[in-house]
Amino acid sequence: MDTLETRELRYFMAVAEELHFGRAAERLGMAQPPLSRAIQQLERRLGVCLLERNRRGVALTGAGEVLLHEGRAALDATTAAARRTRRAGGADSPGGPRNRLVLAVKAGASHELLYKLLDAYAAEPDAAEIEVLPSGTCEQGEMLRDGRADVALMHAPFNSLAGFDSEELLTEGQIAILPAGHPLAAHKTLSLAEVGDIPDLPLARFSRHGTYPPGPGPEIHDQTQLAQLIALGRTVAVFPDSARAWLWAEHTAVPLTDAPPVVTHIAWPAHSRSLALAGLIRTATRL
Amino acid sequence: MDTLETRELRYFMAVAEELHFGRAAERLGMAQPPLSRAIQQLERRLGVCLLERNRRGVALTGAGEVLLHEGRAALDATTAAARRTRRAGGADSPGGPRNRLVLAVKAGASHELLYKLLDAYAAEPDAAEIEVLPSGTCEQGEMLRDGRADVALMHAPFNSLAGFDSEELLTEGQIAILPAGHPLAAHKTLSLAEVGDIPDLPLARFSRHGTYPPGPGPEIHDQTQLAQLIALGRTVAVFPDSARAWLWAEHTAVPLTDAPPVVTHIAWPAHSRSLALAGLIRTATRL
DNA sequence: CGTCGGTGATACCTACCGGGTATGACAGGG
DNA sequence: CCCTGTCATACCCGGTAGGTATCACCGACG
């Protein structure tokens, strides 16, 4: 009576995101009429009007928006349960979650820290196997939420730590990475305003969930590509200090005076109760 | 193929908690055979062995324990979605969650703070309606998780803030509440050790989820009952400083020197995006 | 040592409901 | 005024969730 099956949630999410029964049905791999009926049943069961059926298309009601947000969290939690259970399966270790952890890391970031962490942890007495999962820009949070990862290295203020437990690992300043030949590369320091407003060097734009922020700069989805574009004098980028590790000869790093410091955290779902995870966290905080 | 219906989750949770198919089926209001089959299907779909069927009864495998924990979170999230959606329904306010908030408070705690908060918030321009939900000892977290509440007043270190966003509101010391006539009531201060070891005044035990910690003291489930027992010289209790508000004439409050300070927070689910909630938090932090 | 009680698993049946197809109702746009 | 695109309705079918009856197993106990 008040149960809310995940199937219904999936259906509603599709409709709420597409705002179109036909497209939503297609995305779900089903026909439109059963979808309509399912949503109607859902509304009746909840005793709530979720969608405003206008002549042309569909709009969310207030309750619909609530269910869109809360349902996303619920679906993530459900798929996380499935994934983590699967991962714990196979060789079911007696008396506890299996000794395997998936660590999400922003691809290419925190080289050195990651290296030290894996190294130190591997030396621990009963270390679990760590699978490093490179993630796209800033989606470590989603990976923790939907169970693709068990623990993540996250970078405040880019990642939001809301909803996770975390420990601070490292604080660093930020640098601008410029073509070595560029006039600004001679400066000892720069400000964000100076870097963001160079006529011949538009700021690179990084993809987030497949979309790019507006601006004149090139769209980046690969660090090598970015490095090349900088080397060719086509763009400039801002990175944490540790990015110096991968600079090319054609690059120059200039510290930024007014950029917010980047704090690298190790973060995990607040309800985690895994021994292996606890060990990794302990190792990380002792680095 | 990887979907994990909530029905299956409910079934598994019942079996995992009861460790007995018959009782679990009864609790679920169904017969035992379909339940057995459902669990088997679940195991096949996940490709994982969840339960160890022994001759007598059932035991959880490692994967089963993972699913027990993760599934609890997932089920809480879905029932939270249902509850919050229902609550937002009815008069669906255009363009946003409905103006109603449920605030969970430990029954009888933080009188004055709560009063000031509600008062200050009611004076705000477009204040939402606040429903105050008294909760049993320390279960505000569960209420936030499963959607019975939208926001809570929590008291570190008794409540765990893990998984929630929170703001600190108030820090206070703790006091021992003694019968006025007792010899120790004459002291200016006391230590935890002194209070916990009074031969004729065993420490009161408060219920948590229907169970009580071990000890000689009386079992308390009602503040009035506790007050009476103290007044009668039968027990002693430790409370935050603000408990002075409800002391009787027959009570004496003695500050504790070594008790950890109690920090009252306002806490809410990290993913919340409600305007009304934001307003309440803003009001609370300005108190 | 045989039987009984209690466990979970199996066999089989039924009814419901999730999903498909065909079609309707309705509003805008040309 | 029809045509198009939208969501809703009507109807049918098959899968499956759930029920009952029963089995297979083992431990306890007389």
B69 has pLDDT over 70: yes
| Chain B residues within an 8 Å CB radius of A147 | 70
Task: Note the pLDDT tens digit of each residue in A247-257.
Answer: 999 999 999 99
B179 has pLDDT over 60: yes
Q: In a mutagenesis test of the A interface, which of B48, B70, B101 is the best target, namely the one with the most A β-carbons within 10 Å?
A: B70
Residue type, A102: V
CA distance B187 to chain A (A): 41
Please indicate whether, in this complex, the C-beta atoms of A77 and B82 are within 8 angstroms of each other: no
Length of chain B: 287
CA–C1' B55–C1 (A)? 21
Task: Note the pLDDT tens digit of each residue in B243-272.
Answer: 998 899 999 999 999 999 999 999 999 999
Question: For position A94, what pLDDT does the model report?
Answer: 46
Closest CA in chain A for residue B77: A74
Domains of chain A: 6-88 (1.10.10.10), 100-170+262-285 (3.40.190.10), 174-255 (3.40.190.290)
Alpha helices, H only, B218-274: 223-231
B92 has pLDDT over 50: no
Question: For position A271, what pLDDT does the model report?
Answer: 95
Question: For position A109, what pLDDT does the model report?
Answer: 80
Tell me the CA end-to-end span of chain A in Å, nearest whole number: 52
Report if CB B286 to strand C is under 7 Å.
no
Identify which of B244, B53, B240, B12 has the alpha carbon closest to the alpha carbon of residue A81.
B12
Task: Note the pLDDT tens digit of each residue in A156-190.
Answer: 999 999 999 999 999 999 999 999 989 999 999 99
Q: What is the mean pLDDT of residues B53-68?
A: 87
Task: Note the pLDDT tens digit of each residue in B24-50.
Answer: 999 999 999 999 999 999 999 999 999
* Residue B41 near residue A38, CB atoms below 8 Å: no
| Chain B residues within an 8 Å CB radius of A50 | 85
Considering all nucleic acid strands, name the nucleotide whose C1' atom is nearest to the C-alpha of residue A33: D8
> Ramachandran region of residue A54, left (φ > 0), alpha (ψ -120 to 50) or beta?
beta
Question: For position A96, what pLDDT does the model report?
Answer: 43
Closest CA in chain B for residue A98: B62
DSSP at A143? H
Task: Note the pLDDT tens digit of each residue in A68-100.
Answer: 999 999 999 999 999 999 998 765 444 444 578
Question: For position B100, what pLDDT does the model report?
Answer: 87
Considering all nucleic acid strands, name the nucleotide whose C1' atom is nearest to the C-alpha of residue A28: C19
Residue type, B18: E
Please indicate whether, in this complex, the C-beta atoms of A96 and B65 are within 8 angstroms of each other: yes
Task: Note the pLDDT tens digit of each residue in B194-216.
Answer: 998 888 888 888 887 778 888 88
Please indicate whether, in this complex, the C-beta atoms of A48 and B90 are within 8 angstroms of each other: yes
pLDDT, averaged across chain B: 90
Q: What is the mean pLDDT of residues A45-70?
A: 89
How many CB atoms are located within 10 Å of the residue A230 CB?
Answer: 25
